[in-house]
Amino acid sequence: MITIEQLGKTFHTARGTSHTAIRDISLQVPDGQFVSILGPSGCGKSTLLYIVGGFEHATAGSVKVDGRVIDKPGPDRGPVFQEYALFPWKTVISNVAYGLREQGMAKAQAEEKAMSWLEKVKLRDYAHFYPRELSGGMRQRAAIARTLAYEPAILLMDEPFGALDAHTRIKLQTGLMGLWEQLKNTVLFVTHSVEEAVYLSDRVVVLSGTPGTVREIVDIDLPRPRVRAELLRCPKYQEYVIHLEQLLVGEVAA
Ligand SMILES: Nc1ncnc2c1ncn2[C@@H]1O[C@H](COP(=O)(O)OP(=O)(O)OP(=O)(O)O)[C@@H](O)[C@H]1O
Ligand SMILES: [Mg+2]
């Protein structure tokens, strides 16, 4: 269980000014829940995820995982951040095996496990390629495999499909859903896409802008497994999308 209590972050810049990115965010995420975070650009979504990841420190409040205060990164929380992308000098399989090797797993075993994850994200044939030799969608799949391989209880995803074309994005959403339905880890997923948030999530948290704070939390009560083509025709799905879009449009306008 992730417990976020009255979390705040004020950045002090080199110019001597200060900027409050998030303020008074409280949220509880039970184990195994898929939670998306929506909000206008600059409202502090990445900041929130970095603090949960332990990459940034809060200036108010706290984040606890199973009662323990988070103050640094750990193998229980796996990031899929664009900034923490693949190592360009390592092959795909070495990238995926990296976290396992760090945990002390023998090379052969780590590579075997890495290969089984590459299979799951359909990159088996690209195991010995370098990241620069892959497409954007393939790179993103490799990054997801790298994080999932060490089995973090919590997955932190910051716009993992943001830079992809619509077709690749839909394929990866469906792929992620399939994996998650087996793994059932806790996911915090930042996105700008309302459809993506509704399709994937148990709950959607809408942040309001600057400083970011919780505007509304919407429970997505749609049965699983979800089939995208069916969902698009489902009136309840459409209502969620319309409601969230209206909230967001209001936020962006504000
Ligand atoms: N290291 C930093 N130093 C100073 N200010 C920062 C720093 N990181 C973020 N900020 C500020 O905090 C605010 C929130 O940034 P953040 O990246 O969390 O937004 P976001 O919601 O992820 O936006 P986007 O949707 O565009 O990715 C912004 O105003 C940004 O300028
Ligand atoms: Mg961001």
Other CB atoms within a 10 A radius of the CB of residue 109 amount to 12
Instruction: Verify that 15 and 46 share a domain, yes or no.
Output: yes
How do 34-38 and 203-208 pair as beta strands?
Answer: parallel
Which of 121, 151, 181 lies at the terminal end of a domain, its last residue?
151
Are 71 and 170 within one domain? Answer: yes
Question: CB of 57 closer than 6 A to ligand 1?
Answer: no
Query: Do 40 and 212 meet the contact criterion of CB atoms below 8 Å apart?
Result: no
Contact predicate 205/214, CB 8 Å? yes
Condensed to tens digits (0 to 9), the pLDDT of residues 192-217 reads: 999 999 999 999 999 998 899 999 99
11 Cβ closer than 6 Å to some ligand 1 atom: yes
Beta-carbon contacts of 177 under 8 Å, excluding residues fewer than 6 positions away, are: 199, 200, 225, 226
Final residue belonging to a domain, choices 119, 151, 183? 151
Neighbours of 37 (CB within 10 A): 27
How remote is the CA of residue 22 from the centroid of ligand 1, in Å? Answer: 9
For ligand 1, whether the C-beta of 47 sits within 6 Å is: yes
pLDDT band at 231 (very low <50, low <70, confident <90, very high): very high
Q: For the chain, what is the domain count?
A: 2
Q: Does ligand 1 lie within 6 Å of residue 45's CB atom?
A: yes
Q: What is the CATH number of the domain that holds 233?
A: 3.40.50.300
CB of 17 closer than 6 A to ligand 1? no
Shared domain check, 166 and 118: no
Residue 2, pLDDT score = 98
Q: Is 124 helix (H, G, I), strand (E, B) or coil?
A: helix
| 227 shares a domain with 164 | yes
Q: Whose CA is nearest to atom 3 of ligand 1?
A: 11
pLDDT value for 83: 67
At 41-73, the pLDDT tens digits run 999 999 999 999 999 999 999 999 999 999 999
Domain that holds residue 127: 85-151
Residue 253 has pLDDT above 80, yes or no: no
191 and 226 co-located in one domain = yes
Nearest ligand, measured from the Cα of 39: 1
Residues 206, 113 within the same domain = no
> Closest residue (by CA) to atom 27 of ligand 1?
41
Give the pairing of strands 154-158 and 186-190.
Answer: parallel
pLDDT value at 33 more than 70: yes
> Which pLDDT score, from 0 to 100, does residue 196 have?
97
Say if CB 7 and CB 71 are below 8 A apart: no
CA distance 53 to 55: 6
Whether residues 56 and 104 share a domain: the answer is no
Q: Which of 96, 124, 151 is the last residue of a domain?
A: 151
